Amino acid sequence: DEPGLGKTAQSVLAASVANAYPLLAVVPNVVKMNWAREVERWTPQRRATVIHGDGGQVDAFADVFIVNYEVLDRHLSWLGSLGLRGMVVDEAHFIKNLTSQRSQNVLALGARIREQVRNPLMLALTGTPLINDVEDFDAIWRFLGWTNGEKPGPELMEKLDATGFTPADKAFYPEARDAVISMGIVRRKKKDVAADLPDKLIADLPVELDDEYGRSIRAAERELGERLAAKYRRIIEARGDKVLYGEVDEDIVRLVAHGELEESKAQGAGAQGAGADNVFTMVRKIGQAKALLAADYAVQLQRSVGKVVFFAKHID
C-alpha cells in the first residue's frame, strides 16, 4: 500500500484478531516510536516496548516488541527464545537482497518462529512497488513461508497444482502469478481509496536517538540544566533566601533563562563558552542527529510516491 493507507494499523489489528502475541515488528529506526503509538491507539489493551541500542530499557512482559533493522543482530538470540507467535517486517523491500546481513537476520528469526509455532502470523509490508525482478521477492516469499529455497512451499504448491497447468504450459505463468497474489499480496493506491481519505494526512514521527549523537545530546542537556540550576541557586542564595525543593520563583527562572539566551547570542551558534554547549549549539546538534533519519524517511517516501517536498530548518 502507498504511504498513509494504514499498513501499521492493519498489522496491529491482524495481530489482535489472530492473537499473535508476543508479536515482533522489525521496522526502520525512524518509525519505531510511531509503531508503539499505533499499537496503543488500535489495541489499547496491549503493551508495546521499543528496543533501543543494547535493550537496557526493554519491558520483557510486553505484547509487542519493536526493533529497528540496525540493532536486530544484537537481539536475535533472546528474541528467538521468546516464544513469538507473529512477526511483521515493515518496509519489506529492505530485505530484498538475500545476501545482506539484514535479510539473513530477518530470515533466521522467521525460520525460528516457524519451527516453534504451527501457524504464526507473518506479515511483510511495503509501500515501494517491487517491479525490477522476480528475485526481489525471493527473500520476502521465504520469510512468508511461500517458498523454501528455489522450491514453492506446501501452501503455494497446493495453489499452483490447483491451476491445472505446469511450467511447460503457456498459461502457467499468469495463473501462477494470480495464485501468488491471492495468497496475500495486496496493492492499494491513494487514488483507489481517495474518497475515504481525509484531505490532509499529518503524521508526527518522534525519533529516539540511541547512537553517539543521542548520547552526546543527552549529556549536553544535563550539563545545560545543571548550569541553569546553579545560576538559579546562586541568585536565590545571594538575596539571603534558601532554595526550597518543590518551590520555584518563576521571575528568577525567567531571568536565568533570558541571561542564558543573551550569552548564547553573544557567543553565536558556532561557538561554545568555556567548553559548554549553549542553547544554539544544542539546537544545532539535535538537527544534525535528526538529519540522517529525516533523509532516510524522505528517500522511503520518494520511492513510494515519486516526488517529495522537503522543508528543513537545518542545513545539515
Write down the pLDDT at residue 275: 57
Distance CA 69, CA 27 (A): 6
Q: Nine-digit cell at 286? A: 539535535
Q: Name the pLDDT band for 109 (thresholds 50, 70, 90).
A: very high
Find the mean pLDDT for residues 128-155: 79
Secondary structure, 3-state, the chain: CCCCCCHHHHHHHHHHHHCCCCEEEEECHHHHHHHHHHHHHHCCCCCEEEECCCCCCCCCCCCEEEEEHHHHHHHHHHHHCCCCCEEEECCHHHHCCCCCHHHHHHHHHHHHHHHHCCCCEEEECCCCCCCCCHHHHHHHHHHHCCEECCEECHHHHHHHHHCCCCCCCCCHHHHHHHHHHHCCCCCCCHHHCHHHCCCCCCCCCCCCCCCHHHHHHHHHHHHHHHHHHHHHHHHHHHCCCCCCCCCCCHHHHHHHHHHHHHHHHHHCCCCCECCECCHHHHHHHHHHHHHHHHHHHHHHHHHHHCCCCCCCCCCC
Q: Report the share of the chain in percent with pLDDT over 70.
A: 94
Higher per-residue confidence, 81 vs 148:
81
Band (17; pLDDT cuts 50, 70, 90): very high
In this predicted model, which residue has the larger pLDDT, 168 or 276? 168
201-256: per-residue pLDDT in tens?
677 777 777 667 777 888 888 888 898 899 998 888 888 877 777 788 888 899 99
- What pLDDT was estimated at residue 273? 46
Question: What is the identity of the amino acid at 153?
Answer: G
Closest CA relative to residue 52, chosen from 205, 246, 209, 265: 209
- The per-residue pLDDT for 53 is 82
CA-nearest of 63, 3, 35, 91 to 208 is 35
pLDDT at 12: 96
Q: What pLDDT digit, counting tens, does each position of 43-82 carry? A: 999 999 999 888 888 898 999 999 999 899 999 999 999 9
Measured at the CA of 160, the angle between CA 154 and CA 165, to 5 degrees, comes to 145
pLDDT for the residue 97: 84
Q: Examine the pLDDT at 200 and tell me if it is beyond 80.
A: no
* Mean pLDDT for the stretch of residues 291-313: 80
- Mean pLDDT value across residues 18-45: 93
Max mean pLDDT among 111-125, 146-160, 198-212 falls in 111-125
Mean pLDDT of the chain: 84
Give residue 80's Cα distance to chain centre: 20
Q: Are 187 and 1 in contact (CB under 8 A)?
A: yes
State how far the alpha carbon of 216 is from the alpha carbons of 28, 213, 221, 289, 291, in Å.
22, 5, 9, 10, 15
Overall average pLDDT of the 125-149 stretch: 79
Q: Does residue 22 have a cis peptide bond before it, meaning omega lies within 30 degrees of 0? A: yes
